[in-house]
Amino acid sequence: MTPAVEIDGLTKDYQVGFLRKRKVRALDGLTLTVERGEIFGFLGANGAGKTTTLKLLMRLMYPTSGDARVLGRDIGDTAMHADIGYLPEHPYFYDYLTARELLQYCAELFGFGAAERRRRAAELLARVRLDEKAWDKQLRKFSKGMLQRVGLAQALVNDPAVVFLDEPMSGLDPVGRREVRDLIASLRTTGTTVFLCSHILSDVEVLCDRAAVLRRGRLAHIGRLEELRGVGGERPMEVVVSTEDPARLEAALAPLGSARLTTTPGGARVEVPTESEVDEVLRAVRASGARLVAVQPVGNPLEELFVSEGSGSS
């Protein structure tokens, strides 16, 4: 089976300036593959090239060089649009329409009959958890979060095999974000491929099978989430203990050298540079009579990777 998305050397240059034009490379030789049925995270800071990539895949702009295929078809083949869904970062809808009317209109563009259009509109508005009282209100009266829900619904109106989502959590409150995350996760059960652009690391960590990190238009890293977390080598770890005698614990840790002890009310925290040193710390904790509370990583390795490798110009 062909991959859902194949990108090969995709490059996009812009000319900027008025009198003295100069070339700016927004995307530089991007190559990656997204398999069918996977939820793929596309990470990068603002300006890294995420939205440019999606616009090229949607054929909303033309590449300077390189090519790409979606569902085995060249992105220049407009027939592929019947099998994909797209939610842009800043969607614009006819704001004089109601939510129900917009979805019925989108369904009509895909050739569905009147009864099916009505059914799909109601089903999707309920699925994205839009309050039923808002279904027949004009979109101009909607909040940003409500518009995001409608936008997600329109991206699914044709039961797409691949759906491209650009910052789908934008404008949502914490409850809304959880509901949309659950909806995106549910697409996995139907075999839908999700290409998720985001700078919200927690959403990518919860949802995605694999992710790519884009830095100034170039692919910095790609892999499964657990692989990306390990890119920087072993992570520092923290051992949290409860003890009434911190001095005794400090003495037990002294031979280790690399362990750093910080006392807290009723306990202590012991930080070591690598996971491989945790066992020695635990032996010292037991020897001192302290009680183990927790062993946890220090910081978020994916966040550190994003900050160091994923930042680009804004």
Domain for residue 203, yes or no? yes
- pLDDT tens for 12-60 read 999 888 778 888 999 999 999 999 999 999 988 888 899 999 999 999 9
Domain for residue 256, yes or no? yes
Strands 193-198 and 39-43: parallel
207 in the same domain as 78: yes
285 in the same domain as 149: no
Q: What is the pLDDT of residue 170?
A: 83
Domain for residue 308, yes or no? no
* pLDDT, mean of residues 63-82: 94
55 in the same domain as 189: yes
Q: What is the pLDDT of residue 256?
A: 85
Domain for residue 21, yes or no? yes
- pLDDT tens for 218-244 read 998 888 877 776 655 566 788 999 988
Q: What is the pLDDT of residue 206?
A: 84
270 in the same domain as 135: no
287 or 313: whose pLDDT is higher? 287
pLDDT-above-90 percentage for the chain: 52
Domain for residue 306, yes or no? no
Domain containing 110 equals 5-229
Most confident of 89-93, 156-160, 270-274, 287-291: 156-160
Instruction: State pTM to two decimals.
Output: 0.76
126 in the same domain as 274: no
Instruction: Give the number of domains in the chain.
Output: 2
Domain for residue 305, yes or no? no
* pLDDT exceeds 90 at position 62: yes
207 in the same domain as 248: no
Most confident of 19-28, 59-68, 254-263, 296-305: 59-68
CATH number at residue 264: 3.30.70.120
d(CA 248, CA 280): 16
54 in the same domain as 158: yes
Domain for residue 137, yes or no? yes
Q: What is the pLDDT of residue 276?
A: 80
173 in the same domain as 29: yes
273 in the same domain as 129: no
